[in-house]
Amino acid sequence: MSQAKLNDEKGLVGQPIDRVDGRLKVTGGARYAAEFSAPRLTYGVLLQSSVAKGKITKLDTSAAEAAPGVVAVITYKNVLPPAPPPPQKPNPANQNGPPQKPPEAPFREEIKFSGQNVALVVAETLEQAEHGAQLIQVEYETEKPDVFFEDHLDKAFAPSGSNRPLTSKRGDFEAGQKSAAFHVEAVYRTPVEHHNAMEPHATVALWNDDGLLIYDSTQGVQGSAQTVGKYFGLQPKEVHLIDPFVGGGFGSKGQSWPHSTIAAIAAKTVGRPVKIAITRRQMFTSNGHRPATRQAEVLGADKDGKLVAIQHLAVNHVSASDTFVEPTGSLASMLYSCPNVDISHQLVRVNVDPPTYMRAPGESSGSFAIETAMDEMAWACGLDPLEFRLRNYAETDESEKKPYSSKSLRECYRQASEAFGWSRRNPEVGKMRNGRWLVGYGMATASYPANCRPASAKAVMTAEGRVRVTCATQDLGTGTYTILTQIAAEELGIDRSLVRVEIGDSLFPMGPGSGGSCSAASVGSSVQETARGLRRALLEMAAATPNSPLTGAAPDAMEVSAGRVSLKSDSHKSLTYSEILRRNNKESIEHLGNTKRSDEASKSHSMHAFGAQFCEVHVDPDLRMIRVARWSGAFAVGKVLNAKTLTSQLHGGIVWGIGMGLLEETILDPNLGRYINTNLAEYHVPVNRDVPPIDIHLIEEQDLLVSPVGVKGAGEIGITGAAAAIGNAVYHATGKRVRDLPITIDKIL
């Protein structure tokens, strides 16, 4: 694409322009949370428990307190207590709502998991703080921990309070299953997995006359500010959280974790700024993980290969105090047409740290189960796996009894299968070879909800024609700065070099957390509306400017190009934005825009992104080593804002799916309840040699129901279906069906 085309603001949205923050990142100019400093900065190091269940019986901090450079040691004995909740206000019905619980103190005498925070040492230097932490003596009264949730299924319970549907029933599953000619019944398991973002979690906290200032690595600057502020009883304006760049989050930074509040407590305790940076090992116990799941799947199909029954009974582990649900059954409830469906979820408490969101929570783990079961059923029916899915294509969301706002899954199947060469697939197991390697073809469906949340943005244009756009969102490294720049520049008809996007600040206009693939849809919509509002204001000002070529012109009689407003009927009658402002003695003009998805659209339509995953694997016939040889994927994710960053997101999701399918697993010690591979030498993720050529096809949809800007979001859909596609290909190559991730050599010997 020519540079001239890239510099044309018309049609800028969708073009594969480079990241506007790219130069800052490659030159080291981008500042991450741990890189911020402050006068008289001190360093905090966390000491974490070495047992998984029990009670602290001795906590001797005297040696640490006497160590050189140590400023303070904070434990459950002396931690600043949380502020009481504000007085309860009556609701409109003149009745009080449920009483608000105060935040819990971050240190406790009771130990519920290995790696629980026990103490914080604050010192003049990081090395002195680390040394002080080593001097603390802790003794425990221990109990045998509950480690594996499947050992305690008799204690499973149904959760409540989730923001996702946890049960879904239609028809009569038992009757449907009895009528089926073909049956598949199996249990699919996914292990504990950890996010391991390149940037570890970190917080710098300091108190000033305005309240609390925090530099924090987070996926939600306003949400994290509110969580920390709540501990001290602060109002939102009294907590200023800054995080201009995030070095990956993947869900682990989607909520505020104890270390952030601990940093603020420590700063208040010592009267100086405090920095806490979580170590790589501590990242396995301090900021969540994908919980282990057990998914019992039952499918029934009639003699023509039409599904007549689906059952998905899911269980995942949680910590001793939380109720986090991995909604693995969400895809099974709606992905295929079936009259009789039974979906449910349960939880089992064990002595692990609280699990949390991890890229495509629910759909990533759940797609492995349903898409592997669908492959098994296709083989049982004697049908091609793609043909079987097409026979069971859902034209509507049968779980919600709603039409889709848009659905281009058939086109995804067509483009991806043609690009991949699915028609060359030998339908027999173990019959395809590449030299001595066994070759297998596998495919799966990808899907993820199309989320959109309320958001606001502000745009200010100066008399020089430059525009500053602000929103309290954040860029996780996905290209948010870039797409917002494109949207604003196109709507205002100016060169993108004149637009400066500023995000990552909790005091900016409201922005949602970056989770659920919602940022582009939510914030992109608000920036679009804000830029349009600013353009309207400028056109109105142009028409009201006395003795100008545009005086009295109707807004729809004018057009904007290259920062110039002109009459459509006579382009010579024009003014630049700068001329309009200066003729009206204005130094600047601004507009604040607010957007949300239509309530009517949310009630009337089901909104999802869809895709198709096709992969080829090679398996060594003797050593059983597995190599993913190539990949084709097609995805329908609404309007394309930037083809380059979008493709990059989908690539990243597929690479993560390769890790999920073949490598990733956090191992728990069965006796101590302790993670034992808490480093990147033993917790394996894909490297360059593990990743094949990946061919991505984008099916653009014009869907203004899903979000005002027409975007569905693509941060998570790339991983969905990927692990199943690999497993299905391994079966085609070897005849070995693996239902427990990851698919390792020992499982296909």
| Sequence letter at residue 330 | S
Asked if residue 269 lies in contact with residue 205, where contact means CB atoms within 8 angstroms, the answer is no
| Sequence letter at residue 147 | V
Phi, psi angle pair for 194, to nearest 5°: -120, 150
DSSP string, 90-107: P-TTS---SPPPPPPPS-
Asked if residue 613 lies in contact with residue 443, where contact means CB atoms within 8 angstroms, the answer is yes
423: DSSP letter: G
Alpha-carbon dihedral sign for residues 131, 135, 136, 137: positive
Residues 312, 401: Cα–Cα separation, whole Å: 19
Residues 487, 711: Cα–Cα separation, whole Å: 12
H or E stretch including 646?
Answer: helix 643-662
Q: How many CB atoms lie under 10 A from the CB of residue 23?
A: 11
H or E stretch including 187?
Answer: strand 182-190
Query: What contacts 388, CB < 8 A, 6 or more positions away?
Result: 305, 374, 377, 378, 381
Which residue, among 517, 368, 521, has the nearest Cα to 446 in the 3D structure? 368
Residues 82, 234: Cα–Cα separation, whole Å: 11
Q: In terms of C-beta distances under 8 Å and separation of at least 24 residues, what long-range contacts does 58-63 make, across chains too?
A: 58/137, 58/138, 58/139, 59/118, 59/119, 59/136, 59/137, 59/138, 59/139, 60/136, 60/137, 60/138, 61/119, 61/136, 63/135, 63/136, 63/137
Strands (E), 229-306: 239-242, 274-277, 293-301
Query: What contacts 242, CB < 8 A, 6 or more positions away?
Result: 36, 213, 214, 215, 216, 221, 504, 505, 506
Asked if residue 722 lies in contact with residue 661, where contact means CB atoms within 8 angstroms, the answer is yes
Query: What contacts 210, CB < 8 A, 6 or more positions away?
Result: 238, 240
β-strand partners of 314: 295, 345
Asked if residue 474 lies in contact with residue 482, where contact means CB atoms within 8 angstroms, the answer is no
Phi, psi angle pair for 385, to nearest 5°: -55, -35
Asked if residue 613 lies in contact with residue 722, where contact means CB atoms within 8 angstroms, the answer is yes
H or E stretch including 363?
Answer: helix 363-381
Residues 629, 452: Cα–Cα separation, whole Å: 36
CA 548 to chain centre: 50
Q: How many CB atoms lie under 10 A from the CB of residue 183?
A: 13
Strands (E), 494-585: 499-502, 558-561, 564-567, 574-576
Query: What contacts 373, CB < 8 A, 6 or more positions away?
Result: 184, 186, 188, 297, 299
Asked if residue 238 lies in contact with residue 226, where contact means CB atoms within 8 angstroms, the answer is no
Encoded tokens for 686: 């894909």
Which residue, chain included where needed, has tokens 């050189």? 68
Which residues participate in catalysis according to the annotation? 716
Encoded tokens for 191: 């292990």
**Strand pairing report for 137-142 and 455-462:** unpaired
